Amino acid sequence: MDTIEHTKFSAQAAQRAAGLAQLGCASAGGRTRLRRLYQDGCAKIRLPAVSAGPLEAVLINTAGGLTGGDRIGWDVDVGANASATITTQACEKVYRAASDHAQVRVKLTVGENGRIAWLPQETIVFDRAAFARTLDVELATGAEALVLEATIFGRLAMGERAAQGTFHDRWRVRRDGLLIHAEDFRIGPDIAAALARPAAAGGAIAVATLLLVSARAEALLDPVREIVGQQGGASTWSVNKSGKLLARLYAVDSYQLRQRLVPLVGLLNGTAGLPKLWSL
């Protein structure tokens, strides 16, 4: 079984939050059903009842946020012809780190002709936070993936701004073992100065990246660009016969970012629409 670093912490590091949760689902009787659920530490998964459509899972970090030295891992395995939408109970908060960095590891595996929508709510980064996330996606032939990560550097409504800190987001997406998408977003230690650059976010503090791997990608480009508008952009292309649509958005605050993310996710997630918790 895959493990995460929290299994061998020193006495001092053991005071930090650690968690690992694994979810497996499969298609049976024309529906997607739970096949395996494992939870350890602060990582929990809940499954709201759905009458139809994909299985919906809610990820919960019971530690209430992340800070330096915390480790959490999420593994999701969607079987052939199955479909799952994954979201979070609330925005994940990354607090100031006295030492070390908070680490999140995400692994998504989708079987042949399966589909996953990875749609966590926003990550809120506080001043002097230190955070690193890896997201690895393994797709089989005919599988689709919709992947979103949105980040807010500070909460303007609370008079907070993430001026200093480090943030690193690393994505790797593979189809049948071949790399079809890779990116690394790294910012810091002077977060405010980097976001202020015209070529970055022009002073905006809310950013999002959304990737759709699907044969439908090219057909959706025009409506996606209409939603994204002038504060961002979208493109499509094909890699190893896999269609991809990549959209990046920025906004002055989380409210304005979500105003565009909601219709965008609704469009790209098809009949599954928005996760229920996005509307609460």
pLDDT digits 0-9 by tens, 13-62: 447 899 999 999 999 988 999 999 999 999 999 999 887 789 999 999 99
Closest CA to 161 of 132, 111, 201, 203: 203
Question: For residue range 96-151, what is the model confidence (pLDDT) as tens digits?
Answer: 998 899 999 999 999 999 999 999 999 999 999 999 999 999 999 999 999 999 99
Residue 117 CB: number of other CB atoms within 10 A? 26
pLDDT at residue 7 greater than cutoff 50:
no
Quote the pLDDT of residue 280.
Answer: 63
Closest CA to 153 of 161, 164, 145: 161
| pLDDT range class, residue 6, cuts 50, 70, 90 | very low
Tell me the Ramachandran region of residue 162: left when phi exceeds 0, alpha when psi lies from -120 to 50, beta otherwise. Answer: beta
3-state secondary structure of 232: strand
Separation CA 68–CA 203 (nearest Å): 26
Quote the pLDDT of residue 5.
Answer: 46
3-state secondary structure of 34: strand
Closest CA to 216 of 195, 245, 187, 241: 245
Q: How far is CA 164 from the centre of its chain?
A: 23
Mean pLDDT of the chain: 91
The secondary structure of the chain in percent helix, strand, coil, rounded to multiples of 5, reads 20, 50, 35
- Specify the pTM: 0.92
Task: Measure the CA dihedral 154/159/165/168, to 10°.
Answer: 0
pLDDT at residue 161 greater than cutoff 90:
no
Quote the pLDDT of residue 8.
Answer: 42
Token pair for 227 = 């939603």
pLDDT at residue 2 greater than cutoff 60:
no
Question: For residue range 167-200, what is the model confidence (pLDDT) as tens digits?
Answer: 999 999 999 999 999 999 999 999 999 999 988 8
Quote the pLDDT of residue 49.
Answer: 85
CA distances from 99 to 96, 131, 158 (A): 9, 11, 25
Estimate the crossing angle of helix 254-268 against helix 221-228, to 10 degrees: 170
Separation CA 58–CA 48 (nearest Å): 8
Question: For residue range 254-269, what is the model confidence (pLDDT) as tens digits?
Answer: 999 999 999 999 999 9
